[in-house]
Structure 1
Amino acid sequence: MKARKIFVIAISLVSSILSVGCSSHQTKKTHEKPVKQEASMRIRGMVKMLDTVRGIDQNSIQINQNVFEGLYRYDKEGRLVLAGAESEKTEDGGRVHVYRLRKDAKWSNGDPVVAQDYVYAWKKLLSLNESASNWTNLLILKNAEEIHDGQKDMESLGVQALDDHTLRVELIGNTPYYKEIFASTAMFPQNHAVAEKYGDEYGKTSASTVFNGPFSVVGLEQGSKKWELVKNKNYWGKKDVKLKRIKYVVERDQPSAQKDFFKGKCDYVRIGCSYDEKLASKKGFHKRLIPEVSMIRFNQKRQVTGNVHFRRAVTYAIDRKKIAASKTFHAKALYGIVPANYSYSPENDVDYREDAGNIVGLDKKKAQNEWKQAQKETGRNQVTLTLMFTENSRYSDISGKIKKDLETTLPGLQIKIKMVELNEKMEQAFDYDYDMFYLSWQPSYVDPLAFIVNGGMEHLREDHHNPDYRNNLEKANACGGDFGKRRGFIIAAEKDLVEKDAFVAPLFQQANGYLLNPNLRCVGFVPYGSTCILRDAWIRK
């Protein structure tokens, strides 16, 4: 299916990606010197956490996806295949899955990967107090929601280690996307002995972490601007891993990173959606539409931003099409929280966004009516609010356009733009220390519910109390294999979230541009975002 295809990068036409880009090594003449299997990558920011249940930022996910491994992984054809598990048995009509783990799977310190490592990590994920964690991935497990809400004990969670190499998982029902969930970084195992040894320090540095994936991290400290991935000698599939070393350097800025690429100093640079056509015409440039959604979040605990009429006013006042059509900004205007070209029905292959249609959009009359109602309910005709962005020059144009739209359409509203460092922005979001902020978010699996029950919306469960929304989600989860009926309930839940309650204001879906050395072969991308998969990559002379 379209949404499940992994993008494997070649040096020539898309039609020859698999046959050329991922062909096996060509036979070398005996007198030729072997090619050094080392790559150099630029990354946008520092890695916050190697702890897979806490590493929710894209930089951390980029690294964790290549140094850890769960029950499943994506192969270079885009199929989900067993990884940490060697077999799976399904019981009780698809509700129960019993996995036999690989006996040759080891951690980088030599410890075996055991079933208890999965149980430990999943319970740890559920017990986190951090509202931005990916704990919502666990909602497919029996009793996860009840445990989170304090209604049941942690021991009732639907996961058990039957023995060292047998893991039993019980779901809430026949869940069609469970494999995608189990392939996400949040669901990877953790060496419970090492994690317990280091406690809160686990995952903050490479020295306090052990790895079970194709690579290990070395030289990473808190605040590091460069580090390396080295081939994991204890990885069960090490014979398939060709790269010996991958150097990561945090880019100073986009122009510098691009210069490094064209000078041959690095092999990969993520450009994102902000680039000009001159760059797009250069050798090594690629682009693809990805399910990365940009949106505005509102602080529900403050008087004005907590008012539903104000939030609706903002949603209707922004001209998404104008922002997405910028000459140097490549994106697709989005009129719902779930992106296009992301999730397709297994019954008729129709894209979810096509079925759901446009839920919100530019409507100045509606915006002004909602604004007047917000002014009446809050008793404030003149309002000054701060809109927070991550500190990056590429956001200056976007922020200016949003500010102009809001101030022009909603008289009496003044917007102050505030640029802050990423970690500071995340901390302020957790602490409700903001009015509104702009964020971009990628899912960790392919299903519309990834955006509707998580979507990067910290405090969603705490702050969103629409019973219709909850009811529609429950009905969707009860549909099992009736995909058409399930989609109908999901669309209804999306309308509750975005149109009725305006919990967030979706803006656009990004087109990911990137520079890739044509000699770095078999680089894959997860189907749900921009994360590179380097397990099968190799350097061609």
Structure 2
Amino acid sequence: MKKRIIAAFILVVFIVTGLFLSSNYKGAVAASSKQVFTYINGAEPRYLDPALNTAADAANIIINVFEGLTRVNVKGETVPGMAEKWTVSKDGLTYTFYIRKNAKWSDGIPVTAYDFEYAWKRALDPKTASEYAYQLYYIKNAQKFNEGKAKASDVGVKALNATTLQVTLEAPTPYFLELTNFPTYFPVRKDIVEKYGDKWATDPKTYIGNGPFIMTKWVHNSYIEFKKNPKYWDAKSITLEKIVYKLSEDDKANLLAYEAGQVDGAESVPTDEIPRLIKEKKLKIWPLLGTYYYDVNCKVKPFNDKRVRQALSLAIDRTYIVENIGKLGQKPATGFVPYGIKGISKDFRDESGHFLPVKADLAKAKKLLAEAGYPNGKGFPEIEIIYNTSEGHKKIAEAIQNMWQQLGIKVKLSNMDWKVLLERRHKKDYMVARDGWLGDYVDPMTFLDLFTSYSDNNNTNWSNPKYDELVIKAKKTSDRKQRMQYMMQAEKILMQDYAIIPIYFYVKGHVLRDYVKNYYISPLGFNYFMYAKIEK
């Protein structure tokens, strides 16, 4: 989600959303069948276009409406989706996918290999301005096309006919099949996109998908409704008749709605309520592959001085934050890649090393700040921390504000709408900004290529040629041990340059009725509720 998802982003206990359900909304979700699932999903999505989205909350919607060459089943396994089978060449460079003959769009038109070729090249087209274009760089000449150094016809994805898609990679990629169930790799319809332009993904009438559900209504900033897609190739395995995702930015109202019986689940709850919900066994906690962190604008004074960035990072007591604000068993972030990914012989996090203290080191932080020309914070400009509206984000920002004030620095806090935060971060219009990233697949690369100079999801204004070189080397080698070593070296550069301020590693906490069965919560931050069934 992520990633980042995301963003990739993730709406967890720290990222809260919602308005209390109105009487109109209660009427909207009244069930004529017991197979109706209602869930408070998060904020109003910025994009529902698979090529443009970078947020986990929106991805939770997209994965219900679209399906890639592969899909994720209820066990979390990558299994055939639109492609009923595939072959891989001996050198690992060429994949040939065979589209199932009963694959159809929700309006009944067959899904073809041409739809995938169009969608992938559209995401790569610089005119599309997809922040996730780099996720397709594993494909031959994809990066060159995105950077204007090659033509679309040079990209290594080609529909040989309506049911056969051939993909040629730059180098063997062990997780490529996993990538094909990620939203950026989903197909979209050329005729729909070209006819309706940017508005195609904003109206249920034109939001034509190929997945298990169809969007039927979108009341902006309130809720989105979906019904089961009878033309989905595996419709017989889908039990739910309807899904309603409430769009909400108030964690207290979310919990009130849940405890009043108005919804089946909610993505986030107030941090103050966590102990009670755990005691009452109402809170479900899931492991996530993600990192909560602060971006620092590395080109803006005084943050262009590494000593300043290091001082700010060292002044944070990460243990205090996870124990007193998180309360869900989150781990303090001692690097950027989270726990849960195998390295050479043990967990990558332990193998790569621990670059940050879990407790504050104020003495060293003050010393670094003085060396940078700001003894006891004298002459240091007021810092503005920006974050999206959330009680959890606010509490973390207030804690860090107090920690940085111990350095003699003045700190201003600014909360804003989710879309505004995304826009300001992307435009690098900030000093310090809240951020978060969830893996897109289970590999350190999904975290490390985020900070390459060519990544549109790199919000920091930081770049390092040696870092780029190591990431590229890791992507091109098929030797597992060597690629892990390259990635460890890259993370070391990122962390020793203090380009970002990691704070903690995510877990997911949400409320969900026990009568909701047969779903999968991915460590990548996606909720696979399409397989669910209601058993009251």
TM range (shorter): 0.7 to 0.9
Q: In the alignment, does 2:64 pair up with 1:66?
A: yes
Confirm or deny that 1:257 pairs with 2:254.
yes
1:477–1:327 CA distance, 2 compared to 1 (3 A): closer
What secondary structure does 1:477 align onto? helix
Kindly provide the amino acid, as one letter, of the partner of residue 436 in structure 1: V
Cα deviation code 1:314-364 (max 9, x no counterpart): 2222111111111654321011111112x224x74x221121121223433
Q: Deviations over 1:210-266 (max 9, x none)?
A: 011101112125x34112111011100000000000112123522222222223221
Q: 1:493 aligned to 457, 465, 490, which one?
A: 490
The offset of 1:172, in angstroms, is 1.4
C-alpha contact (below 8 Å) 2:294/2:503 kept by paired residues: yes
1:420 paired residue number: 416
8 Å Cα contact 1:72/1:179 also seen in 2: yes
Give, as a single letter, the amino acid of the residue that structure 2 aligns with 1:447.
D
Report the 3-state secondary structure (helix = DSSP H, G, I; strand = E; otherwise coil) of the residue aligned with 2:372: helix
Q: Which amino acid aligns with 1:535?
A: M
Kept in 2, the 8 Å contact 1:293–1:507? The answer is yes
| 1:338 matched to 2:333 | no
Would you say the 8 A contact 2:132–2:456 is kept in 1?
no
Could you tell me which runs of 5 or more consecutive residues in structure 2 were left unpaired when the two chains were aligned. 1-31
**Partner of 1:114 in structure 2?**
112
Matched, 1:219 2:214: no
DSSP-derived class of the 1:491 partner = helix
The separation in 2 between residues aligned to 1:323 and 1:129, in whole angstroms, is 41
Q: State the number of aligned residues.
A: 498
Tell me, in whole angstroms, the C-alpha distance in 2 between the residues paired with 1:282 and 1:300: 45
**Is 1:360 matched with 2:356?**
yes
Tell me which of 232, 236, 240 is aligned to 2:229: 232
* Deviation by residue 1:386-429 (Cα, 9 ceiling, x = unmatched): 10011112222211111111121x33x21101000100111111
1:172 to 170, 173, 182: 170
CA-CA distance at 1:273 after TM superposition = 8.7
- Distance in 2 between residues matched to 1:65 and 1:337, nearest whole Å: 27
Q: Are positions 1:432 and 2:428 aligned together?
A: yes
Which ranges in structure 1 are unaligned for 5 or more consecutive residues? Answer: 1-33
Give the whole-Å Cα distance in 2 for the aligned partners of 1:234 and 1:185.
20
Secondary structure at 1:416 match in 2: strand
Q: Tell me how far apart the structure 1 counterparts of residues 150 and 79 of structure 2 sit (CA, whole Å).
A: 33
Shift, 1:494, TM fit: 0.8
Give the corresponding residue for 1:210. Answer: 208
Give the match for residue 15 of structure 1.
none
1:256 partner letter: A
Conserved in 2, the CA contact under 8 Å of 1:206 and 1:219? yes
- After TM superposition, the structure 1 stretch with the greater mean CA deviation from structure 2, 116-125 or 144-153, is 144-153
TM-score after normalising by structure 2: 0.88
Say whether 1:151 aligns with 2:146: no
**What's the counterpart of residue 287 of structure 1?**
285
Q: Which piece of structure 1 moves more, 416-425 or 49-58? A: 49-58
**8 A contact 1:107–1:210 mirrored in 2:** yes
CA contact (8 A) 2:451 2:463 kept: no
Query: Could you tell me which residue of structure 2 aligns to residue 25 of structure 1?
Result: none
Over the matched positions of the two proteins, sequence identity in percent amounts to 26
Shift in Å at residue 135 of structure 1? Answer: 1.5
Superposed CA offset, 1:516-539 (max 9, x none)? 11111111112312x211232111
Letter in 2 for 1:167: L
Partner of 2:498: 502
Q: Residue type matched to 1:243 in 2?
A: L
Whichever residue aligns with residue 337 of structure 1, its letter is F
Given that residues 298 and 306 in structure 1 are in contact (C-alpha distance below 8 angstroms), is that contact kept between their aligned partners in structure 2?
no
The correspondence of residues 391-430 of structure 1 with structure 2, limited to 5 A, is 391-408=389-406, 410-411=407-408, 413-430=409-426
Query: Given residue 245 of structure 2, which amino acid in structure 1 is its aligned partner?
Result: Y
Q: Give the 3 Å change call, closer, same or farther, for CA 132–161 of structure 1 in structure 2.
A: closer
Q: Is the 8 A contact 1:261 1:267 kept in 2?
A: yes
Do the aligned partners of 1:117 and 1:189 also contact (CA within 8 Å) in 2?
yes
Matched AA of 2:229: N
| Whole-angstrom CA distance in 1 between matches of 2:523 and 2:394 | 29
Task: Give the conservation status (yes or no) of the 8 Å contact 1:48–1:59.
Answer: no
What is the correspondence of 1:20-31 to structure 2 with a 5 Å cutoff? none
- Conserved? CA contact 1:71–1:182, under 8 Å: yes
- State TM-score, norm by structure 1: 0.87
2:305 counterpart letter in structure 1: N
The equivalent position to 1:89 in structure 2, one of 87, 90, 104, is 87
Native 8 Å contact 1:116 1:192 kept in 2: no
Q: Partners of 2:314 and 2:191 in 1: how far apart? A: 52
Matched AA of 1:505: I
The equivalent residue for 1:539 is 534
Q: 1:454 — aligned with what?
A: 450
Distance verdict in 2 for CA 1:314–1:468, change over 3 Å? same
Q: Which amino acid aligns with 1:288?
A: W
Contact 1:78 1:527 in 2 (8 A): no
Partner of 2:521: 525
Cα distance in structure 2, aligned partners of 1:115 and 1:228? 29
1:272 to partner: Cα distance: 6.4
Aligned to 1:309: 307
Amino acid at match of 2:446: A
2:268 paired residue number: 271
Q: How far off its partner does 1:64 sit?
A: 0.5
* Residue deviations 1:157-190 (CA, integer Å, cap 9, x gap): 1111111111111111111111221111111111
2:78 maps to a residue whose letter is L
Residue identity in the other structure for 1:356 = S
- Measure how far apart 1:367 and its partner are: 2.4
Residue 351 in structure 1 maps to residue 350 in structure 2: no
- Quick one: structure 1 residues 528 and 187, their matched pair in 2 at CA, closer, same or farther if it must change by over 3 Å? same
Which deviates the most, 147-156 or 241-250? 147-156
**CA–CA separation in structure 1 for the residues paired with 2:303 and 2:122:** 33
Residue 131 of structure 2 contacts residue 457 of structure 2 at CA under 8 Å; is this kept in 1? Answer: no
Native 8 Å contact 2:325 2:395 kept in 1:
no
| 365, 369, 385: which one aligns with 1:371 | 369
Q: Distance in 2 between matches of 1:54 and 1:66?
A: 17
What one-letter code is carried by the residue in structure 2 that aligns with 1:291?
L
Partners of 1:285 and 1:513 within 8 A in 2: yes
Q: 1:295, CA displacement in angstroms?
A: 0.6
What is the one-letter code of the residue matched to 2:228?
K
Instruction: Give the AA of the match of 1:335.
Output: T
| C-alpha distance after superposition, 1:80-106 (max 9, x if no partner) | 101010110111511110000111111
Aligned to 2:211, what secondary structure does the other structure show?
A: coil
* 1:515 is aligned to 2:508: no
Distance, in Å, in 2 between the alignment partners of 1:148 and 1:132 is: 10
User: How big is each residue's C-alpha offset from its partner over 1:182-216, in whole Å with a ceiling of 9 and x where there is no partner?
Assistant: 11111111111111111121212222310111011
Change (3 A) 1:372 1:202: farther
Task: Name the SS for the 1:297 alignment partner.
Answer: strand
> Aligned letter for 1:257?
N
Take 1:329 and 1:237, find their aligned partners in 2: how far apart are those partners?
Answer: 40
Are the equivalent residues in 2 in contact too, given 1:296–1:506 (CA < 8 A)? yes
Distance 1:289 1:459, change over 3 A: closer
